[in-house]
């Protein structure tokens, strides 16, 4: 298991929840946010042990940044951090983030074109496709 500083852990956690927030914000709906975040948190909970400790929170952070540029930059930074420490952790991060974003988008009415676009941006930011 790779070691991550508190700052690195905070960056990775913010990126993960920011990605979910970005997808959720793609389709407006105040009450839908709760359902989408719940679906995403279930997906994030499936992360391997090394990442689970980083992503585990006591409550769903509803205030994660949804500023597109900030979220994408934090995802790219997280991918760099993980790549420098553990290729296995990077692969797991990519998989769990992609899964959480799809789960959030699909939670209310299926994946819309706008949500799909946000998912594509998230995937590119972490180095998928």
**What is the per-residue pLDDT for 58?**
59
Residue predicted with more confidence, 71 or 61: 71
pTM of the model: 0.88
DSSP secondary structure, the chain, as one string: -----HHHHHHHHHHHHHHHHHHHHHS--HHHHHHHHHHHHHHHTTS-HHHHHHH--SS--TT----HHHHHHHHHHHHHHHHHH-HHHHHHHHHHHHHHHHHHHHTTTS--HHHHHHHHHHHHHTT--
pLDDT digits (tens, 9 = 90+) for 64-91: 666 899 999 999 999 999 999 999 999 9
| Residue 44 and residue 55 in contact, taking contact as beta carbons nearer than 8 Å | yes
**What is the per-residue pLDDT for 22?**
92
Confidence band, pLDDT 50/70/90 cuts, at residue 36: confident
């Amino acid at each position: 298991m790779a070691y991550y500083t508190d700052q690195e852990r905070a960056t990775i956690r913010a990126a993960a929840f920011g990605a979910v927030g970005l997808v959720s914000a793609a389709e407006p709906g105040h009450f839908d946010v709760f359902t989408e975040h719940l679906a995403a948190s279930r997906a994030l909970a499936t992360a391997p042990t090394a990442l689970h400790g980083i992503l585990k929170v006591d409550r769903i952070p509803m205030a994660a940044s949804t500023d597109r540029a900030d979220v994408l930059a934090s995802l790219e930074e997280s991918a760099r951090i993980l790549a420098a420490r553990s290729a296995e952790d990077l692969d797991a991060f990519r998989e769990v983030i992609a899964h959480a974003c799809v789960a959030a988008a699909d939670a209310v009415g299926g994946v819309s074109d706008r949500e799909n676009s946000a998912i594509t941006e998230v995937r590119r930011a972490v180095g998928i496709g």
